[in-house]
Amino acid sequence: MFPPPHTVNFDAHLPVTTSDYVEVAQRLVGEFQDEQCQLVIALTHMREPNDIRLAREVDGLHLILGGHDHHYAHSTENDVTILKSGSEFREFSTIDVEFNATGRPRFAIKQHCVGSECEDDAQMMKIVNEYTTELRRARGEPIVTITNPLETRFASVRTQETNFGNFVADCMRQMTNSDCALLNSGTFRSDRLFPVGELTLGDLNTILPMLDRVVQMHVPGWILHKALENAVSKYPTTAGRFVQVSGVEFAFQPDADPRIQAESILIDGDPLVDDRVYTVATKAYIANGKDGYDMFNLPEVKKQPCSEEKDLDNLPVLKYAIIEELKEISSSGNKLELSTHNRIRNLVFRSHLTARASDTSLRYNY
């Protein structure tokens, strides 16, 4: 059903040079001022606090058009206008610019919400239909019937465990035969609650649009503890690093430091042992230290191949593995019942939940 388990050797790294975005922006703004530019716009793709820092610390900026965050926001910081125009084409903005007597630009910003009342442009729809007719047919292919709503909304999946997060993490653990699985919730991109009924190929591509490779690592318990601490470090913000897990149970307290006490962590029902090495299934993105998981780049973490396959491009793709698993369920005449387990306990809001989850298997409804 699943491809054989793989890990990958990440020892060979290409050199990467990074610079502080404020320092780079200040240098570029200086160059634009030397060229007598009247309007300096920063087009960014980072979190809103980073855009605010950019506005506070860089002299000469007028407008920041920010990406990455998925909400609409308009603010002013240090006389710099910051605009986040949302995501998924749910909103867009029009900006009128007027220069005052001193030459300083002023912005009149109007938010536009896209809804069913908006009329389609006939010429554009003709072009779109020409290229997407076959794509829509393929995306409409049913994969499996779900018996309860499938949760992928950012407000949920990036702050707590969810039923589909549990399911995908369970699949990763099974396909690699690992002790546990860690999946950053930024993997799920749909920001939707899918209703009971048929789940289509298009739905899966919306939920998991990226070609994430599944790998296996050998991780000491004390590093695994650091990884879980990173997972909840940005809570209650909806950060993509928040983790969905399989084979792991833990409790965290948002106002504590550290937020996770070691004694609350269980691996497959047993207490975490600092010097024991665990097999951990995850994405290559996380194994490479992204989303704050730089502890996985420590020399104590082994990412050597456990099969003959050493090429990263040939490691299993998470999306395709999930699609094949769902098709297997459907072809067997089953429906998918998604359960949310009690693996991650927020001690502020869920202190009454103390029982350990006993069922970590995939459950199907006939």
Q: List the domain boundaries for the chain.
A: 38-113, 132-365
Q: What is the pLDDT of residue 102?
A: 85
CATH fold for the domain made of 132-365:
5'-nucleotidase;  domain 2 (3.90.780)
Q: What is the pLDDT of residue 321?
A: 94
What average pLDDT does the chain have?
A: 87
Q: What is the pLDDT of residue 69?
A: 83
Q: What is the pLDDT of residue 364?
A: 35
Q: What is the pLDDT of residue 2?
A: 56
- The helix-helix angle for 318-331 and 163-176 (nearest 10°) equals 100
Query: What pTM value is reported for the model?
Result: 0.67
Name the burial class of residue 283, with classes exposed (0-12), middle (13-18) and buried (19+) by CB atoms within 10 angstroms of its CB: buried
The per-residue DSSP string of 315-340 comes to SPBHHHHHHHHHHHHHHTT-EE----
Q: What is the pLDDT of residue 81?
A: 94
Which alpha helices (H) appear in 35-121, and where do they start and end?
Answer: 48-57
- Name 43's bridge partners: 65
Render each residue's pLDDT in the chain as its tens digit; 366 residues. 555 544 455 554 556 788 899 999 999 999 999 999 999 999 999 988 999 999 999 999 999 999 888 889 899 999 999 999 888 788 899 999 999 888 889 999 999 998 888 888 899 999 989 888 888 888 899 999 999 999 999 999 999 999 999 999 999 999 999 999 999 999 999 999 999 999 999 999 999 999 999 999 999 999 999 999 999 999 999 999 999 999 999 999 999 999 999 999 999 999 999 999 999 999 999 999 999 999 999 999 987 543 334 455 567 899 999 999 999 999 999 999 988 989 999 988 643 333 233 333 343 332
Q: What is the pLDDT of residue 359?
A: 35
Q: What is the pLDDT of residue 312?
A: 55
pLDDT digits (tens, 9 = 90+) for 174-203: 999 999 999 999 999 999 999 999 999 999
Q: What is the pLDDT of residue 191?
A: 93
Q: What is the pLDDT of residue 305?
A: 42
Tokens linked to 213: 């490779």
Q: How many helices (H) does the chain have, and how many strands (E)?
A: 9, 20
Tokens linked to 18: 């990074």
Residues 213 and 284: beta-carbon distance below 8 Å:
yes
pLDDT digits (tens, 9 = 90+) for 247-289: 999 999 999 999 999 999 999 999 999 999 999 999 999 999 9
